[in-house]
Each structure stands twice: as C-alpha cells, then as structure tokens.
Amino acid sequence: MHETLRFVGKVVEGTISRTADRWFLSITVEMPDLHSVRRENQAVVGVDLGVSALATLSTGEKVAGPKAYSATLKKLRQLSQHFSRQMEAAKVRAGLKPGEPIPKGMHIPWSENMRKTQRRIARLHARIANIRANTLHQLTTDLVERFDVIAIEDLNVAGMLKNHPLARAIADMGFGEFRRQLEYKAAQRGKTVIVVNRWYPSSKTCASCGYKIPKMPLAVREWTCPECHTHHDRDINAAINLRRVAESSVRGSSPVPA
C-alpha cells in the first residue's frame, strides 16, 4: 500500500502510533519555505473565539464549532454507566460487596465484555478528537490563505475552564489547539498573527465611536451603544475591535488602543 506525496518535500522519518483500535503513521518532512511575498495592502482580519460560534470574523462571518463532545455526550454517558455496572459485577465475582471500594493492591479481572466496552469508549473519544482537529484545521488553513494579518485574543483557557457551566463547551472548542495551528501555519506562509492582550475590552468597546460600556454579562449577545446608538452583535463588534488593533500594529502605532 502506498500513496504519492501531496506536497513538495522530503520525508525524514515516520512514527507509527495507535489510538483506540486504529493505527496511524505520522511523518516528519523537510519542506521549502512557503513564505509569500508581503503585499503593500495587507488583508487584515480580527477573529473572536467563543462558545456559541467557534470563531466570529470582523467580516461578519461566523464559523460554527464542532460541538463533537456535546453531540456524543449521551452515548459516552451510557457507555460509561454500562462499564461501571460491569465493574461492579466483576467486583462481586472477586468476592467484594456491591459498592465496596477495591482494596489497594487488589486486581479485578476484566471480562471480555468489559474490554469491548472500553474499546467502544476509546473509539468514541478518538472520533471526537478527529472531528475537532478537522474543524480547526479547516478554519486555520482558510484564515492563513485569505488574510495576511490575523488578530486574536490572548485567551486564558485555563481560567475559562474553571467556569464549570461552560467548561465542557470551552474544552470542546479547542481554543488552545486553534492558536497552535494558526501560529505555525502563519509562520510557514509568512503571515502575521497578532495576539491582543486578554484585558483589552474588545466586547465592551463600541467599534463605531469607542465608547466603553461598564459591564456586559456573557449572556448579553447584542447591545446598543448608549453614546452613538449603534446596535452591535457582541462577537462581530469584538472581532472588528481586534482587527483595528492589528491595523494599528501594522501601521506601527500603539498595538492596543486606550
């Protein structure tokens, strides 16, 4: 079995790995620089990451997230509960009482059905990871191919995950992986990623007049500026402000407006 390379480059090494019940070959390739010629009029975009939409662009485009974990959560829960019942039955067979914790050092033999359940759970987690990775690859590749300068916010992902009501949705979006992919793809193509200070109030600042609203709960998705009366989509407004930070940085002025 063989396949012709889809790119110009030299294969240096390969690594075989297994995830769930699937085998993968990862290859390291030496490739020529893909740096593009820097244009005089660079295309600049601001990208606001979120939960309701994975990414909102300053162009007004919204990219839906994979929501892979949420879509399969019910099946995962059912399989996990099924495995727990199998484990309880195995403990009883080993001489323990129902619900009794396994003593330290004691080994509980797994049945073939338990192994099958674990394999099903592993396959489901692998499928979730693949869906998420594919969505992020498509988005980041599209961004670096269309734009020269891309502004994103320096999100505190670890802190966001402490928000328990939203933790699962945030983890499902893969914000950290989005930034990793975007930065290495931009570097390959000679594009620029500008990471804006996380304390910059992109959502609370009116992109039309610059008025900063004192408070804006996360539940507020649209708002009207009390100063200039412009009605805003929260995420699009934030993305426009991020784009303007990038434009200021490209011009050499202050990277973060007051």
**Known catalytic residues?**
48, 153, 235
The rounded distance, in Å, linking the Cα atoms of 208 and 257 is 14
User: In this structure, how many other beta carbons lie within 10 angstroms of the beta carbon of residue 199?
Assistant: 9
The rounded distance, in Å, linking the Cα atoms of 45 and 145 is 12
CA angle (62, 63, 68) in 5-degree steps? 145
**Residues listed for the chain:** 258
The rounded distance, in Å, linking the Cα atoms of 229 and 206 is 10
